[in-house]
Chain A
Amino acid sequence: MPIELKMPALSPTMEEGTLAKWLVKEGDTVKSGDLLAEIETDKATMEFEAIDEGVVSQILVAEGTDGVKVGTVIAVISGEGEDASAKAAPAPAAKEEAKAAEPQDVTPAKAGAASQSAPTPAAPTSAGATEKAAPATAASGERIKASPLAKRLAAERGIDLATIIGTGPGGRIVKDDLDGAPANAAAPAAAAAPAAAAAVPASAPAAAGPIPDFGIPHEDTKLNGMRKTIARRLTQSMQEAPHIYLTVDIRLDALLKLRGELNASLESRGVKLSVNDMLIKALAVALERVPACNVSFGGDVMRQYSRADISVAVSIPGGLITPIITDAGGKSMSKISTEMAELAAKAKEGKLQPNEYQGGTASISNMGMMGIKQFTAVINPPQAMIMAIGAGEKRPYIVDDALAIATVMSATGSFDHRAIDGADGALLMKTFKELVESPLGLVA
């Protein structure tokens, strides 16, 4: 019996994915446990293993195809000894399914065309408005889930749904997600002149237009899901959240000394604290002490978190991901260290589960190991602050009114100024500095 291999659902909410790479070719014999393909979702790349034995008789979805719906037949495996005729048999059915998947691939192009030829003003209510939302969402090349009401409101207010993070079931954009979202500068095209065809491309900020070709030798690589998500979220953050940046210099000598002592005593348990583990704890404790900075801005509501969950930026091949230390303020540094090691390892393998990287109340990003002296980071919405950590380095420093040498790092907090006042941000930076410079508070 030929076996149809279907696009697997790699997470409970996954609806479609990119068939990033085939690891087998037609004619290969596979057995249970062999790796067949790499499937990519918006955040992670996962391996697809064979469950059955047989010969790969047909590959129906080419590698690099994105938007492959869960359940679509992607290949056919024939049992051992099955002949060519048996192999041909499933083809029509399978082909049909593959075909059904095809329109998926062409949707963006079609929608793009439609959006250019549909510059008519949005009717104030009812019918037409819902349809009009469609091109705007499809233009960015991804299917965006939104409730009928959210689609209508977005069309009326000129909000590009591609810039909105959905909080409904399965990431669906619901009405409340639109509250506080800025109307797109270009989108009032709907309300403005009907001849605004040229304005349409600008209405999708996440989807930057085609790059002009100046004859420079080049190669274009298609974006993976993670890169698209990074682009969309960072664009949203910089456009929506007015950032303010506050920098402090922090003396590290006491923290480094404590780290040495702790590590000496933790060695038997196989735990080795990094400076970053300690800074995660310090940020969480600082947020608990300055709750005004442990918030999210929600348009007409301010969300005050009663726990500090720290998203830690981890660089991985092809992008960046932010696994979360839940309740970092309530955890010991050794626990943070162990969890961080596990999360980072999973992140590097692309095996983080969505609940391990979605959420968080604030972020920390450390580029010290690259020798970066100081930098500003982009807030990770809907969080309202991120701490950017520079390199700890020996600097001339005034100690007791005398010039001395101290190990000092610069830390810069980026704050969403809609949610956090400058004075509260400054208080957080001061608290963070004090915690790091007198680090016994982190152990208590």
Chain B
Amino acid sequence: MADTNYDLIVLGSGPGGYVAAIRAAQLGLKTAIVEREHLGGICLNWGCIPTKALLRSAEIYHYMQHAGDYGLIAQQISADIDAVVKRSRGVAKQLSQGVAFLMKKHKITVHMGEGKLTAPGKMEVKGEKGTESLSAKNIIVATGARARDLPFAPADGKRIWTYRHALVPPELPKKLLVIGSGAIGIEFASFYSDMGADVTVVEMLDRLVPVEDADVSAFLEKQLKKQGMTIFTGAGVEELKATANGVTAKIKTKDGKSESAEFSHAIVAIGIVPNTENIGLEALGVKTTKGHIDTDAMCRTNVPGIWAIGDVTAPPWLAHKAMHESVISVEAIAGNHPHAMDVRNIPGCTYCRPQIASVGLTEAKAKELGYEVKAGTFPFIGNGKAIALGESEGFTKTVFDAKTGELLGAHMIGAEVTELIQGYTIGKTAELVEDDFIGTVFPHPTLSETMHEGVLAAFGRPLHI
């Protein structure tokens, strides 16, 4: 019988869990990780990474179709969805194996099976080989979340999909209904639209990507409509029925009318449900809010020795938030004094076409909080690199506190903005003020120049417009 007494057990091996285990091992803690399915969790296997692989194929397909714009000739272009999916699965597999390697390298014991807390510091793992009993001074719960179903139309994987089905489609949808326009919904809408599907998006709130700045939502809606999508905002799906050949949906539009429409498939992307069931939380009295585990700034739950990170806790539900929390919690467990994370400084990225990236407050939210705001927008059409790339659709917007010069938020839509936002994130985290951004030299010609101009625009002095 192996020694199953650890300093730390991590339940769940997603980006929060496996990073926690690595950091713990680096700090000299004897660490175990418990996973019921795949090392790497949703992010690597069924989320962030495989969708990026799919979207890359869609992007190249899009370029091939527009080869003529660049003076190139590409004929007889077509897509092989099976090969596209196969590539995506290959990428996921490579990374999952990478996590297995990292666990081995750091001498972290991996227990495959369903973990359940049985008492403070005790966990039972039901695996293929039977049940193991583990113990540790500290346990981090990093069980993540799963897709929320429509109560009246649970996903069947055939016609009604969640993100998980949409990643491995049995066939390419001809006419696709996407319900929900958060990051997941919009990324699949973008992917399938670029792959040739006729896509309709239904959003309950009054604009697409409702967490983003209103200007970004408006711009995105215009772009997606131009790409041929049908968009309903302020609308709801009242009925959704799978049939032999597709789905029938009853959509209630903004003006209160109900209309029926036929689709070949539907993707439900209306939010997530935390994975807090059957892991023993209730019996130990771990407190939750709307199902998500309550934690303090160091990721402690109300029960000593039990910690929680990532999607199973409060929003934002983003892999990089989970990874950052993993390090904070482990440092705290090791007796160090880590700095708490500031949610105002967590960037968000959506990889649709055009891409969206943002950090901090939207202009409307800043005003709502009572800030006197200086905001400015710089369009990509004023940027040389964007025009050379043939990607002149997009903008960079900044929101500053007029009184102090603090950067309150930055909002970008356009080519490669997901790679750019970290510039603002660093600046915001370091509490730079407008003079620091204005005084920074941005390389020419790059898309990042729009970040400089976006700040100048907020202070009424953009150069190239």
**Quick check: is A152 within 8 A (CB to CB) of the other chain?**
yes
Q: Is the CB of A149 within 8 A of B337?
A: no
Shortest CB-to-CB span from B202 to chain A, Å, is 40
Which stretch of A61-69, A166-174, A193-201 is in the interface? A166-174
Q: Is the CB of B405 within 8 A of A152?
A: yes
How far is A126 from B339 in the complex, measured between Cα atoms in Å?
29
Q: Is the CB of B404 within 8 A of A156?
A: yes
**Quick check: is B296 within 8 A (CB to CB) of the other chain?**
yes
B291-315 interface bits toward A, Cβ cutoff 8 Å, 1 = contact, 0 = none: 0000010001010100000000000
Q: Is the CB of A148 within 8 A of B337?
A: no
How far is A126 from B405 in the complex, measured between Cα atoms in Å?
7
How far is A232 from B377 in the complex, measured between Cα atoms in Å?
45
How far is A149 from B336 in the complex, measured between Cα atoms in Å?
27
Q: A168-B339, A174-B431, A355-B337 are in contact. Are A152 and B404 (CB under 8 A)?
A: yes
Q: A147-B430, A147-B431 are in contact. Are A355 and B339 (CB under 8 A)?
A: no
Shortest CB-to-CB span from A400 to chain B, Å, is 42
- Chain A residue nearest to B438 (CB atoms) is A126
**Quick check: is A175 within 8 A (CB to CB) of the other chain?**
yes
How far is A355 from B404 in the complex, measured between Cα atoms in Å?
34
Q: A150-B431, A174-B431 are in contact. Are A306 and B296 (CB under 8 A)?
A: yes
**Quick check: is B419 within 8 A (CB to CB) of the other chain?**
no
**Quick check: is A203 within 8 A (CB to CB) of the other chain?**
no
Q: A169-B339, A355-B337 are in contact. Are A149 and B435 (CB under 8 A)?
A: no
B335-383: which residues lie under 8 A (CB-CB) from chain A? 335-337, 339
Q: Is the CB of A130 within 8 A of B435?
A: yes
Shortest CB-to-CB span from B131 to chain A, Å, is 31
Shortest CB-to-CB span from B368 to chain A, Å, is 17
**Quick check: is A32 within 8 A (CB to CB) of the other chain?**
no
Shortest CB-to-CB span from B341 to chain A, Å, is 12
A346-394: which residues lie under 8 A (CB-CB) from chain B? 355, 358-359
How far is A156 from B402 in the complex, measured between Cα atoms in Å?
14
How far is A126 from B406 in the complex, measured between Cα atoms in Å?
11
How far is A168 from B337 in the complex, measured between Cα atoms in Å?
11
**Quick check: is B432 within 8 A (CB to CB) of the other chain?**
yes
Q: Is the CB of B432 within 8 A of A148?
A: yes
Which of A130, A149, A167, A168 counts the most chain B CB atoms within 10 A? A149
- Chain A residue nearest to B403 (CB atoms) is A125
B366-414: which residues lie under 8 A (CB-CB) from chain A? 403-406
A113-165: which residues lie under 8 A (CB-CB) from chain B? 125-127, 130, 147-150, 152-153, 156
- Chain B residues with CB under 8 Å of A152's CB are 404-405, 433
- Residue in B336, B403, B432 whose beta carbon sits within 8 Å of that of A355 in the complex: B336
- Residue in B296, B300, B304, B406 whose beta carbon sits within 8 Å of that of A149 in the complex: B406
- Chain B residues with CB under 8 Å of A358's CB are 337
How far is A426 from B217 in the complex, measured between Cα atoms in Å?
55
- Chain B residues with CB under 8 Å of A169's CB are 339
Shortest CB-to-CB span from B96 to chain A, Å, is 33
- Chain B residue nearest to A303 (CB atoms) is B297
How far is A150 from B302 in the complex, measured between Cα atoms in Å?
33
How far is A244 from B405 in the complex, measured between Cα atoms in Å?
38
Q: A153-B404, A306-B296, A306-B300 are in contact. Are A130 and B433 (CB under 8 A)?
A: yes
**Quick check: is B7 within 8 A (CB to CB) of the other chain?**
no
Residues of A in contact (CB 8 Å), total 22
Q: Is the CB of A127 within 8 A of B405?
A: no
Give chain B's interface residue range (CB within 8 Å of chain A).
10 to 19
Q: Is the CB of A175 within 8 A of B435?
A: no
How far is A175 from B429 in the complex, measured between Cα atoms in Å?
11
Shortest CB-to-CB span from B179 to chain A, Å, is 39
**Quick check: is B187 within 8 A (CB to CB) of the other chain?**
no
How far is A127 from B296 in the complex, measured between Cα atoms in Å?
38
How far is A148 from B436 in the complex, measured between Cα atoms in Å?
8
Shortest CB-to-CB span from A289 to chain B, Å, is 17
Q: Is the CB of B405 within 8 A of A149?
A: yes
Q: Is the CB of A126 within 8 A of B435?
A: yes
**Quick check: is B194 within 8 A (CB to CB) of the other chain?**
no
- Chain B residues with CB under 8 Å of A359's CB are 337
- Chain A residues with CB under 8 Å of B302's CB are 306
- Chain B residue nearest to A150 (CB atoms) is B431
Q: Is the CB of A355 within 8 A of B335?
A: yes
Shortest CB-to-CB span from B7 to chain A, Å, is 16
How far is A153 from B401 in the complex, measured between Cα atoms in Å?
12
Q: Is the CB of B337 within 8 A of A125?
A: no
Which of B304, B434, B435 counts the most chain A CB atoms within 10 A? B435
Q: Is the CB of B431 within 8 A of A149?
A: yes
- Chain B residues with CB under 8 Å of A326's CB are 335
- Chain A residues with CB under 8 Å of B406's CB are 149, 175
How far is A423 from B336 in the complex, measured between Cα atoms in Å?
35
B172-201 interface bits toward A, Cβ cutoff 8 Å, 1 = contact, 0 = none: 000000000000000000000000000000
- Chain B residues with CB under 8 Å of A306's CB are 296, 300, 302
How far is A174 from B344 in the complex, measured between Cα atoms in Å?
14
How far is A326 from B304 in the complex, measured between Cα atoms in Å?
14
Q: Is the CB of B433 within 8 A of A148?
A: yes
A328-341 interface bits toward B, Cβ cutoff 8 Å, 1 = contact, 0 = none: 00100000000000
Which of A130, A148, A152, A169 counts the most chain B CB atoms within 10 A? A148
Q: A156-B404, A175-B406 are in contact. Are A149 and B432 (CB under 8 A)?
A: yes
- Chain B residue nearest to A327 (CB atoms) is B304
- Residue in A127, A147, A153, A355 whose beta carbon sits within 8 Å of that of B435 in the complex: A127
How far is A395 from B304 in the complex, measured between Cα atoms in Å?
43
- Chain A residue nearest to B340 (CB atoms) is A167
Which of B296, B430, B431 counts the most chain A CB atoms within 10 A? B431
- Residue in A149, A167, A174, A355 whose beta carbon sits within 8 Å of that of B433 in the complex: A149
- Chain B residues with CB under 8 Å of A174's CB are 431
How far is A125 from B372 in the complex, measured between Cα atoms in Å?
13
Q: A126-B434, A175-B431 are in contact. Are A149 and B404 (CB under 8 A)?
A: yes
Shortest CB-to-CB span from B174 to chain A, Å, is 53
How far is A169 from B433 in the complex, measured between Cα atoms in Å?
18
A299-334 interface bits toward B, Cβ cutoff 8 Å, 1 = contact, 0 = none: 000000010000000000000000000100010000
12 contacts between A and B (CB under 8 A): A125-B403, A126-B405, A126-B435, A130-B433, A147-B431, A147-B432, A148-B432, A148-B436, A153-B404, A156-B404, A330-B304, A359-B337
Given A148-B430, A156-B404, 14 more A-B residue pairs with CB atoms under 8 Å apart are A126-B434, A126-B435, A127-B435, A148-B431, A148-B432, A149-B404, A149-B406, A149-B432, A149-B433, A152-B404, A168-B339, A175-B406, A358-B337, A359-B337
Per CB-CB distance, the 7 closest pairs between chain A and chain B, nearest first, are A147-B431, A149-B431, A148-B433, A149-B406, A149-B433, A148-B432, A148-B436
